Structure 1
Amino acid sequence: MPNRKIIHIDMDAFFASVEQRDHPELRGKPVAVGGGGDRGVVAAASYEARKYGVRSAMASRTAKQKCPHLIFVKSRFDVYKQVSAQIRAIFAEYTPLIEPLSLDEAYLDVTENLKGMKSATLIANEIRQRIRQTTRLTASAGVSYNKFLAKLASDHRKPDGIFVIKPEEGEAFVAQLAIERFHGIGRVTAQKMHSLGIQSGADLRQRTEDFLRQNFGKSGGYYYRIARAQDDRPVEPDRIRKSVGSENTFAHDLDTLAEMQSGLIPLIEDVWQWVERTRVYGRTVTVKIKLNDFQTLTRSRSSFLPIRERKFFENLAFELLEENFPLPLPVRLLGVSLSNLEDSQPFEGKQLTLNF
């Protein structure tokens, strides 16, 4: 089977870059998109802010400690979605095989493309130029023969860069890479690998598949393959959403069950509106509780049949909430999600609503 030609496009600091584009006074300054209050969370950080260690999902209070002159701006998801649609339209001029991962990144399979272009590198550069002309924003691109390597490549020359990993270069590129740089290996897994003497891709390749499965379960097979630069996953334009959820960090801690039930109701409504709009039903309800010391508690319950009534969904969520009582500390965040969704409807790559 001939090698595929895969491009991974990743917009550079997307939300923050849109804000700097639309507000010239923010250009060149450290910017965080999200809530600037003590209970806020950073949704995105400009590259100027990242130099101080500010990153997405960081508590705003921590971000301000790292960068005292950090400028917070409120998120404008409607604008980000509009820009994302412009970018998606550019992709569609080159290939129908587009797998969006979020508003700001996607995989493209250009092995056979609508322009009849033989070079994936030329396509990636042309797309980056078109994005700049259309949106006045920059994008980074990775080009390779599978999704894993294309994703690694796009991270290699950020921001506003392009990097190509050719078929004969894949294994050597992976071998020299620190294990923390691997897409799909998080901080906790990296720490465990370090304890097993695995520091790099070369170290990972020396371990047998049985060893990796014994220590990392089902993921062990994936780690065995990526250590050899192998990834057979196709670019899937109609990915199936695995879950839908909503969560909120509250301005003040919640102490009582009544307060938490009230806080959960709009989140339940948010999820159920999606269910009614898509007619996709799930069987598993999960409630997430984050205490004010950042300890997270979750409880789930599954129904034998898909949940088709809002009241049943609400009752299950309330029961799961009550099962956590008494709680040792007040609550700063609540979330609810629905999973084990029926797969009769395709997911078109639309990002979940985030509450800040």
Structure 2
Amino acid sequence: MPELKVTPLGAGQDVGRSCILLNMGGKNIMLDCGMHMGYNDERRFPDFSYISDGPLTPFIDCVIISHFHLDHCGALPFMSEMVGYTGPIYMTHPTKAIAPILLEDMRKVSVEKKGDQNFFTSQMIKDCMKKVIAVTLHQSVMVDNDIEIKAYYAGHVLGAAMFWIKVGSQSVVYTGDYNMTPDRHLGAAWIDKCRPDLLISESTYATTIRDSKRCREKDFLKKVHECVDRGGKVLIPVFALGRAQELCILLETYWERMNLKAPIYFALGLTEKANNYYKMFITWTNQKIRKTFVQRNMFDFKHIKAFDRQFIDNPGPMVVFATPGMLHAGLSLQIFKNGLPTKIT
């Protein structure tokens, strides 16, 4: 049997910068092309010099992106437009629609606010996305005469996919992030019965035994309720898409049930666009959302309003959703610093 070779260019023993080079049957396939959100120097992108010191097109047969989170697609315009790659890039339709918005948002923060150098431009994001071939779930795609790929539903976020890749008699399944339990807005991951020679899986929480989701949610709601009852402020650092919608549905339902009056704010410029994508890709959500959608848009929230920066010093209780989820920069960090009894700089 031909040798299978796997080289992590990022995320091997780390969270962030997912980028795996898969060599099978003489073909080179890049699985994800993410960036590390914790670095501002060359370490934020995968080390492409491992593949070549020049353009990558002669050395890579295709690139597959599992979902739109930046730790999985954030280095894509850098790789294609600055390092140089003109070959095919595959992702699902929702990923193709949402990824450029997150990439542009991140570019603005990095370049215009932080003044980062050696970063891709808005035009590069557009040019990169022109190279993308959108795939449908369960659609068998022949990359060339030898490589066949197929995407499967992964849950996690809108458009997230696991990919089955076949070259000759060998096959590999690559997951990226996936979720085996359905949540409030997405279904559970699903794949055909198959026997791959190799399974490459994201495993951020793989060894963590967690409480049941119901317990975690109950605990979360109790803590939020206690805090606003005391007149306190609750900051929820989130990513703009995915977990944010999940938590919004949870709080909206709880506020309605308990008849709470404390304001909930959503400090994300992407919200409106995000909700439009949920409307557009409604078939990617779970059955309950699809059914409810006929009567009303589940993402039109009654209790959750847009946040304005001038609300930071407002007295009284409030709940604020703000990006980024890692609390390492941006508005979530600003609100956090501002809300502490002793100010930190």
What TM-score, normalized by structure 2, do the two folds share?
A: 0.27
Judging by fraction of residues, say which structure has more helix: 1
